[in-house]
Structure 1
Amino acid sequence: MPPKRRLHEATIQLEAGNAAVAELGKVLGPTGANIVAVKREYDEATAAQRGQVVPVVVTVFDDRSVALRYKTPPTSFLIRQALGAKGSARPGHIRAGSLTSTQLRSIAERKLPDLNTTDVETAMRIIAGTARSMGVTIEGG
């Protein structure tokens, strides 16, 4: 039996534990993959993270089977969650709030598997850059 050939791959940002069928349908409909099965698998795997956005990389193979690879929530989502507010409408002009070093470290540790570094200090600098672009300042740093 020949190895499976990858037909299509897409990254979709969905609400954890409650994936939108319409969103899945837009991306996976043309591939012929079983959208309901993908939704069911995603919802079961992310049920513990309800209320968060959990990106998933969906790979569809030539036999219409799928493989799901889960990622960590987007950095901007984690920053907004830590702030309890949205980012600034005009970063650099209007402050949206501030993060403590402890909050920054916890976000960096959570994002570490998806970043191109294994060092927490470097990850903190990456997260701090995203925070700055959202109009968020870092206390003590």
Structure 2
Amino acid sequence: MPVTGLEPYDDQNIFARILRGEIPNKTVYEDECALAFHDISPQASVHVLVIPKGPYVSSVDFAARASDSEIAGFWRAVGKVAAALGLETEGYRLLSNHGLNAGQEVPHFHVHVFGGGPLGRMISANH
């Protein structure tokens, strides 16, 4: 179900269930602040999701409620994932969607890491 606004955190969303170990994933990286795993429906040669371990709906929610150490740890994890996947040389894209117009499907803040080849335009010219 698409996310429509800043809704309360749903602890039954798929990422919350992955964090609790109820749903398996192909882990790329994990530490105390973040979990990174391969997307089950990749949109590029490399498509990894990085999620904070706390219950945050969006980047605004994350920035407002996460501790400084959670925020720093999360963004360090994003960088470690890009480096571990060997994306630094050829380049990569980070993307985070929020809300219905952006196509957010899971109400848990997350960043997509795309790479592995040319990624094309950032957005469609048909806006």
Give the TM-score, by structure 1 length: 0.27
Select the structure with the greater relative contact order (CA < 8 A; seq sep ≥ 6): 2
Q: Which has the higher helix share?
A: 1
Give the TM-score, by structure 2 length: 0.29
Pick the structure with greater CA Rg: 1
